[in-house]
Amino acid sequence: MLSSVVDMTLTSDTTTEFFDRYAAALLARDEASIGALYAVPSLILFPGQAIAVSEARQTEQFFAASWASTKASTPSTNRSR
């Protein structure tokens, strides 16, 4: 039983560490760090788009392109009244 608790704790810690790194990379818009977090080969599924990924650079390019389009459509936080 103690072994199971230790295993669950390690799994939880590993998962938390992964998502902390992932969130930090997303907030920093750091496509290289995000690319390093994705497994290769993989499949990126996005509305209307499916990308078969054979190298980390493809993931980096996907996120870089999505940030460019998001920036153009993101409402400004500096609103005048």
Domain membership flag for residue 80: no
Cβ atoms 31, 64 nearer than 8 A: yes
What's the pLDDT at 64? 93
In the chain, the amino acid numbered 13 is D
Q: What whole-number distance in Å separates Cα of residue 51 and Cα of residue 45?
A: 7
Please determine, for residue 38, whether its predicted confidence score (pLDDT) is greater than 90: yes
Domain membership flag for residue 81: no
Give residue 53's domain range. 2-73
Domain membership flag for residue 13: yes
Please determine, for residue 4, whether its predicted confidence score (pLDDT) is greater than 90: no
Domain membership flag for residue 16: yes
Residue-wise pLDDT for 41-79, tens only, equals: 999 998 888 999 999 999 999 999 988 777 655 545 444
Domain membership flag for residue 78: no
What's the pLDDT at 6? 61
Q: How many domains does the chain have?
A: 1
Least confident of 3-7, 11-15, 46-50: 3-7
